[in-house]
Amino acid sequence: MVRIEDYTPIVGSTEIDSIRELTEHVKGAKVVHINATPFGGGVAEILNCIVPLAKSVGIDAIWQTIKGETDFFLTTKKIHNALQGDNTVELTEDMMRVYLGTNRSNASQLDLDGEVVVIHDPQPLPLIEGGREGKWVWRCHIDTSSPNTKVWSLINGYIKKYDAVIFSLERYVPRDLSKMRVLIDYPTIDPLSAKNAPLSTGEIQKVLDRYDVDPDRPIVGQVARFDPWKNPLGAIDVYRRVKEKIPNLQLLMIGSFANDDLDGVEWHKKAVKYAGSDRDVHILTNLDGVLNKEVNAFQRSLSVALQLSIREGFGLTVTEALWKGVPVVGTKAGGITLQVIDGVTGYLVESLEKAAESTELLIRRPWLARELGHAGMQHVRLNFLITKGLKNYLRMHIELVGK
């Protein structure tokens, strides 16, 4: 069972004491979190960690997921893409009927009776029409800095019914929400979870052996969902450029399939086809048995972590790599820029050519990779651990409810 005291060696007793002080104001309060899926993607991982931790400090925290058929998740994926800037998306009347109807059906089945109700991302956004007790918060985890205006106009009326909205970056806040209570909060990782806890060299070796990855040769990798925003084909291109200079290089592409991401299978197939017959490219998913511990081992084996997203809400896989002391070469997209400090915790790049140059540099200079990796770990310790996430939720609760 998770305990707040377990984090003392990592963040210090002063931070733990300040969390305990805040919890005295909200002990026993009921908080309801609702998102689209129990597995796959950053939101599910955040909730899987922060809900038990909130319970450990005396909060009655509940996590539920919205249920829907395939046509519902096809529609919500279109909404997701539109909010991230895909102007080709158009929502038909039938799509909106499915979207709203599924939420109405879920509203009658979910427990919406919380002192604070936190709705995550667009999928369960209209649930606010089905219950209005307590304070309602919409937590947006995606990049809405330049949304598809037609789609935005169809959903922003629901957003404005909320008591507060939370975004990961200030520039993600659309102008027409400026009169609302807007909070900025960075996503966080749990350093004690199976995905981030320390592993012995023997444990890492076993995972690499199981998937035929050679620990004696350099490895680069990208951990991300298979979708166009994460640019998996770009990661393969960078690997190929570097391999021309470092012929024994290996590439790991690690992803997972979630029930709210129906494009994942298609983009996984594209990545596999694009990689071709190269035996040094390992494209693996949860269907291959790659779960949290395996991802942990793979990330710890990397010489360099890649995150070449075109758009990125925050990029918790960047946080995970940095926490493990691995430097990151990432694009200047979304929350990556908060984590990858150019020349300090990794390198920020604007092209695949620059990404390849930076990756080659870090492989050829292990001492530099160690320096950047160490700085990255300290950066995460100060800014992106779950204790800070819990602290921010406690402060939000107190601000909203007035205790």
pLDDT digits (tens, 9 = 90+) for 159-189: 999 999 999 999 999 999 988 999 999 999 9
Q: What is the pLDDT at residue 263?
A: 75
Q: Give the C-alpha separation, 159 to 231, whole Å.
A: 29
My answer on whether 49 and 109 are in the same domain is yes
My answer on whether 310 and 244 are in the same domain is yes
My answer on whether 276 and 300 are in the same domain is yes
My answer on whether 172 and 210 are in the same domain is no
Instruction: Give the pLDDT band of residue 365 (cuts 50, 70, 90).
Output: very high
Question: Is 195 contained in some domain?
Answer: no
Domain that holds residue 376: 201-383
My answer on whether 147 and 241 are in the same domain is no
Residue with tokens 């084909």: 233
My answer on whether 177 and 205 are in the same domain is no
Q: What number is the average pLDDT over the span 9-37?
A: 94
Q: What is the pLDDT at residue 130?
A: 75
Question: Is 196 contained in some domain?
Answer: no
Question: Is 83 contained in some domain?
Answer: yes
Look at residues 353, 384, 390, 359 and name the one whose alpha carbon lies nearest to residue 372.
359
* 157 and 183 Cβ atoms separated by less than 8 Å: no
Q: What is the pLDDT of residues 247-301, one digit of tens each?
A: 999 999 999 887 666 678 899 999 999 999 999 999 999 999 999 999 999 999 9
Question: Is 80 contained in some domain?
Answer: yes
Instruction: Give the pLDDT band of residue 131 (cuts 50, 70, 90).
Output: low
Number of independent structural domains in the chain: 2
Q: What number is the average pLDDT over the span 65-92?
A: 94
My answer on whether 118 and 82 are in the same domain is yes
Q: What is the CATH number of the domain that holds 249?
A: 3.40.50.2000
Query: Does the pLDDT of residue 14 top 80, yes or no?
Result: yes
Q: What number is the average pLDDT over the span 112-122?
A: 95
My answer on whether 155 and 251 are in the same domain is no
Question: Is 354 contained in some domain?
Answer: yes
Query: Does the pLDDT of residue 403 top 70, yes or no?
Result: no
My answer on whether 98 and 221 are in the same domain is no
Instruction: Give the pLDDT band of residue 72 (cuts 50, 70, 90).
Output: very high
My answer on whether 15 and 119 are in the same domain is yes
Question: Is 194 contained in some domain?
Answer: no
Q: Tell me how far CA of residue 134 lies from CA of 8, 63, 124, 370, 397, in angstroms.
A: 33, 16, 17, 48, 11
Question: Is 215 contained in some domain?
Answer: yes
Percent of the chain past pLDDT 70, that is, above it, reads 99
Q: What is the pLDDT at residue 42?
A: 80
Question: Is 193 contained in some domain?
Answer: no
Instruction: Give the pLDDT band of residue 76 (cuts 50, 70, 90).
Output: very high
My answer on whether 355 and 209 are in the same domain is yes
Q: What is the pLDDT at residue 155?
A: 94
My answer on whether 132 and 222 are in the same domain is no
